[in-house]
Amino acid sequence: MTRTVTILAVSWLLLPATVSARCIGRYQKTIRAHCRDGVPGDAPVACDADMQCDRQCSFDLPHYVEIYYSSVRVTVPVGKRRVAFIQNLPSGCYKYILRCAPHPKDAACP
């Protein structure tokens, strides 16, 4: 019985991170990020990580489980807003409010 529980717990920690519609427990922090299509940035999260002018922004959200780190890529269409929740263990849950703006007219696409 103990061996099965241990295997299940370790297996759960190794699963890839996903964006969920809600959190387990209370929110630890709300993070707002505004991005422009095709303009890379890193504050407070990796902004338009794909560096393409493709009418959407790609955000790389950090995900921690104990000492294991990964990132979750979330895309938001230009002109839209998306709310994403990332469950970080054991620290808690983060709520991300992500917005995407069009590429600046006076700048060339990468």
| pTM of the entire predicted model | 0.73
Query: Environment class of residue 95 by beta-carbon count within 10 Å: exposed (0-12), middle (13-18) or buried (19+)?
Result: middle
| Distance (Å, whole) CA 60 – CA 70 | 9
pLDDT at 102: 93
pLDDT at 107: 81
pLDDT at 12: 39
| Distance (Å, whole) CA 59 – CA 40 | 10
Q: Which domains does the chain have, with CATH numbers?
A: 2-101 (2.60.260)
Residues in the chain, total: 110
| Distance (Å, whole) CA 54 – CA 44 | 22
